[in-house]
Structure 1
Amino acid sequence: MGKLKYPLGILLTIIIGMLLNMLWCCNCWGNDNAIDNDKTAPVVIEQTEQIKNVGTTATAVNYLMLKDQEGNLIEEATNHLNFNISDYKHLEPIEADVVKSYEKIKTYLDKHPNQKFNITGLYSSEEKNNSAFTNLGEARANDVKNYLSSLGYDTTHMGIDGKLSDQLVTTNGVVYGPVNYYLSDFPSGKSAALLESELDNLAADIRANPLVLHFATGASTINLSIEQREKISKMVHYLDARPQSSLISVGHTDNTGSRATNTTISAKRAEFAKSYLVKNGINSSRIESSGKGPDEPIATNDTVEGKEQNRRVVVTLK
């Protein structure tokens, strides 16, 4: 028995060693797996983030879509009109499927003259309003309206407005599809008569409170107040509703210098104001310009303040 102790002890040692080795190896495999998981974890997270981003983009992109008032789809396109950040003019070229969608919508509107096509331009709080409108969204809606007018849309059956939205998709300085569309009933019967009355009142208001722009000597820029922007929005609304109407831009000066020189200066200021409005989406054929020099002062030219009041351009309905 004494002799067997040693072989048994050696065998037991070997067995224990094998068991320990197996346990150690299992831990090693567990560690390897943990290491592998550590290596693959960033990849998994990155893929998840990419999918999330794609999903967010896919749901946030504002596709071209129009439904009737019952919610039935009239037309939809995966592409849309796009704009540069803080800009109100759509980017060219326009995708072919977008053009086809607008043509399809026009066909629908032609068959439903009792419908009004409304355009809502969207803008984010981070964008700057470099337009003459009350907000960048309204300026974008006006730009879209002008484009659709070139396709034969009837502007008397269209409406524009702007809306703040911080859910817009932007990539590389481009805002994708910041425009919504919806239909409403076009006034008829008594409602149509009421609309005409409202337009008459709007015309009277524009004439009584015209857009007046004051120019410092040598000034070449126009900085509008909120009130002035609202007046321009009213003018655009009226021009759209009554296609035969037009605006007139008239320049005036103080009495400093010769009358001939002032007449020229006033005409240039009036034309400058007209160009500004045309740049902001008012058709040039709807605006006339002229200069009256110092002939129609509204204040005394004996004071600096009076001269400042006289150096002006007045834009109103013709």
Structure 2
Amino acid sequence: MKAIDLFAGAGGFSTGAHAAGCEIVWAANHWQDAVQTHAANHPGALHVCQDLHQANWDEVPAHDLLLASPCCQGHSKARGKSHGNPQHDSSRSTAWAVVSAAEHHRPAVAIIENVPEFLQWSLYPAWRMAMEALGYALTPHVVDAANHGVPQNRERMFIVATRSRNPLTLRLPQREHVPAEAIIDFAAGRWSQIERPGRASNTLARIANGRAVHGERFLTAYYGNERGGRSLQRPIGTITTHDRWAIVDGDRMRMLSAQECRRAMGFPEGYILPPQHRLAVHMLGNAVCPPVVTDLINEIRHVA
């Protein structure tokens, strides 16, 4: 099965599809750093760096599977219009590139990933009707990556679009949860003393709350809803585009490394990331978890 990857980013969609036996023949993103990262890990694909609104679909190889992760920031609760995101309108419009590509090539299957709020987009009914007009039957599936062996609770929506009379309803496997402690190397990283001059009072308060619940080893979030800490015996919370999670170990602490974030996303060991920590974390926070994609494609094959 030949696949293309729109908004390919760091390559999570492609990596999961490759693990399911697909050949990635073309990938595109508007961000040059992401294109370079994708190309380093998927050298057999053709790569394009451009705004996909301007894509010439004649230049895209024939394929059976279209993978797409349109920009999610305009739909996300954390980054949408009500939170002052000036990019919300232009970012939401990226979803129409999926329709354009599907109209030109009519692949048998398309899988579109986004946050669940995509389904509440005011133009989603029009977008859905456009895909249906091309002959696709659509089924949204809201998936938590932790249920697919990824050591992270990460809830995302995957629309499975097939050129079939009826939509496919997938019965995805439910795998054993992997705890956060499985991705952490306590012997590595740059640790610092918790009780040091200049440590923010809010940070100290979060750590105190975490100790009261979880003991001496746990995770603490610098933003979000985990104000009392998070047990290492459960999957980590969502990896985001900025450093979010710190590890507390007795009287020391540190942020997750890029390699630990890579493990938390379900990428294979050795997957090439940018050497700059901030850039690597940003790409990972935007990525799709590969094991989820592998399970989706395998189940599509099973029921199609």
Range class of TM-score, shorter chain: under 0.3
The alignment's TM-score, normalised by the length of structure 1, stands at 0.22
The alignment's TM-score, normalised by the length of structure 2, stands at 0.23
Rg comparison, structure with higher value = 1
> RCO greater where, 1 or 2, for CA within 8 Å and sep 6 or more?
2
